[in-house]
Amino acid sequence: MNKPLVSIIIPVYNGANYLKDAIDSALAQTYPNIEVLVINDGSNDNGLTENIALSYGDKIRYFYKENGGVASALNLAIKNMKGEYFSWLSHDDMYYPNKIERQIQELYKNGDLKSIVYSAYDLLDVNSQVITHVFLKSTYSEEKLTNSVFPVLQGLVSGCSLLIHKSHFERIGLFNTDLITTQDYDLWFRMFRWQKIIYINEPLIIVRIHNDQGSKTISCHNEERCRLHIGFLETLTEDEMISMYGSPYNFYNRMCCYFKGGKMEEAYRYANKKLQEADIPSDISEKILLLKKYIQKISNDKADKLCIFCAGEYGTRLYHELKSRLINVDYFSDNNSKKWGYLFENIYCISPKELERDKEHTLVIVATRTPDGIVNQLLSNGFPYVITKQELDKILIDIPPIKWISSLESIENLDYSSKDILSLINRFNETIFDLCKYYEDRLKDFILKK
């Protein structure tokens, strides 16, 4: 097996706190043929970042440039890299020693050396120092994970897990320097379409979770990602939508839930408008009934209440997934005491202690990116019926929703910031939900007799 040169690119701005860990992890690769490029994007920390980089001497290639954002730093590195392959490493993340070696192995095993490779990853909480594994195959099939647009549209790609042949930059160009926080997903979308994708279900990188990340501190992030995702939806072909979710109807619903959970309201209204215009699948009633049976079977039909644990992005997304399929959610719960007593999507969030009072009759769905700790917490406290959103997603992905429940949420020129308007919409949605439930109960007997 040939060992093509791989260029590991580390862009950094005022990164003295984590840069050494990143460089050390790059230099510790078991794959022998690498170069490490560190691009200092105009750091102004009195030389702290630069001194760390320079301390490595000729073990790395060091570049300094005026501050222009991470996209400009990455582009400079791509223009100067000598390798056949590009591998990005954020200054606050780390590679496992076998990252590059495993990906090169998979390329040769696959036979197409220009395939785009990405992997599972670990999350490191800098406060608790707890590491959580993110195995995408626990939620999605191999077919979905190697679809050329699905991983990007669902936000599954950690950019530092990628290994990219240089020809892809020659084919579609470089990072867009006009984008401040979404330059990565803009490029992945353009690059992934119609290409061969390889997914490795093994964590090859460690992603630090901390409060200084750009997506948390840069004010324009939400507006920028809304524009970006609307652009994605405008660009996709119907065949691409069908390849992901079987129909444009199902596709637009899944994107609605993704945008709602991520608080991308503008993108949500765009996707919801498209959903309202799409044709309803003919088998919608049968599939919703199958979902209800699946949920009832989890508790052997003993649970008559449903709680979503974690009132955050994943919980909000799951709430809309369930409601659009006529599954009633009774309450949220959360370990964060600041959320107790507050309404989330018009559903109260209660404390775990209060939830425990009716645990024998409650199905709890843990809706967070890293559910294992909470699942163990609930099981150790005697909750008999606990599943994760990731488990339920395997079923939900094939169940079409009832679109009318959100039919008022994409009207042009309507002031969605008005509390009166939002109250009216919520009352309308509840009415539609109740009507659908009413007729569904009468339809159920008919379906069972077929």
Is there a single domain that holds both residue 199 and residue 306?
no
Is there a single domain that holds both residue 213 and residue 240?
no
Fill in the amino acid letter for 180: I
> What pLDDT digit, counting tens, does each position of 26-64 carry?
999 999 999 999 999 999 999 999 999 999 999 999 999
Is there a single domain that holds both residue 260 and residue 289?
no
Please tell me the total count of domains within the chain.
3
What was the pLDDT predicted at 410?
A: 67
Given 197, 217, 237, which residue is the final one in a domain?
217
What was the pLDDT predicted at 221?
A: 83
Confidence of residue 435 (pLDDT cuts 50, 70, 90): low
* Structural domain contains residue 450: no
Q: How large is the average pLDDT for residues 338-367?
A: 93
* Structural domain contains residue 177: yes
Is there a single domain that holds both residue 212 and residue 307?
no
Top-confidence residue, 408 or 206: 206
* Structural domain contains residue 106: yes
What is the rounded CA–CA span in Å between residue 218 and residue 426? 31
Domain with 270 in it: 220-279
Q: How far is CA 378 from CA 21, 125, 315, 383, in A?
A: 35, 21, 16, 6
Is there a single domain that holds both residue 166 and residue 298?
no
What is the rounded CA–CA span in Å between residue 368 and residue 355? 18
The pTM of the full predicted model, rounded to 2 decimals, is 0.83
Number of C-beta neighbours around residue 337 at 10 A = 9
Residue given tokens 């099939």 in the structure block: 141
Q: How far is CA 4 from CA 36, 49, 80, 304, 327, in A?
A: 14, 30, 17, 59, 53
What is the rounded CA–CA span in Å between residue 280 and residue 131? 42
Task: Identify whether the C-beta of residue 434 lies closer than 8 Å to the C-beta of residue 404.
Answer: no
Task: Identify whether the C-beta of residue 392 lies closer than 8 Å to the C-beta of residue 365.
Answer: yes
Is there a single domain that holds both residue 269 and residue 341?
no
* Structural domain contains residue 404: no
DSSP strands (E only) in 244-373: 305-309, 331-333, 343-344, 347-350, 362-366
Name the percent of the chain lying above pLDDT 70: 90
Give the CATH number, domain containing residue 10: 3.90.550.10
What is the rounded CA–CA span in Å between residue 307 and residue 375? 13
What was the pLDDT predicted at 97?
A: 98
> What pLDDT digit, counting tens, does each position of 402-417 carry?
887 777 666 766 666 6
Is there a single domain that holds both residue 131 and residue 234?
no
Instruction: Supply the mean pLDDT for the chain.
Output: 90
Helix axes 248-261, 265-277, angle to 10 degrees: 160
* Structural domain contains residue 405: no
What was the pLDDT predicted at 448?
A: 44
What is the rounded CA–CA span in Å between residue 157 and residue 144? 13
Given 217, 249, 267, which residue is the final one in a domain?
217
Q: Write the CB contacts of 306 (distance below 8 Å, at least 6 apart in sequence).
A: 295, 322, 327, 328, 329, 330, 362, 363, 365
What is the rounded CA–CA span in Å between residue 41 and residue 49? 10
What was the pLDDT predicted at 119?
A: 98
Is there a single domain that holds both residue 317 and residue 331?
yes
* Structural domain contains residue 255: yes
Q: How far is CA 172 from CA 5, 159, 176, 228, in A?
A: 22, 17, 11, 17
Is there a single domain that holds both residue 213 and residue 224?
no
Dihedral, CA of residue 314, residue 319, residue 320 and residue 321, to nearest 10:
80
What was the pLDDT predicted at 449?
A: 47
* Structural domain contains residue 243: yes
* Structural domain contains residue 407: no
Is there a single domain that holds both residue 245 and residue 292?
no
Residue 194, classified by CB atoms within 10 Å of its CB into exposed (0-12), middle (13-18) or buried (19+), is exposed
Is there a single domain that holds both residue 227 and residue 245?
yes
Helix axes 221-235, 248-261, angle to 10 degrees: 180
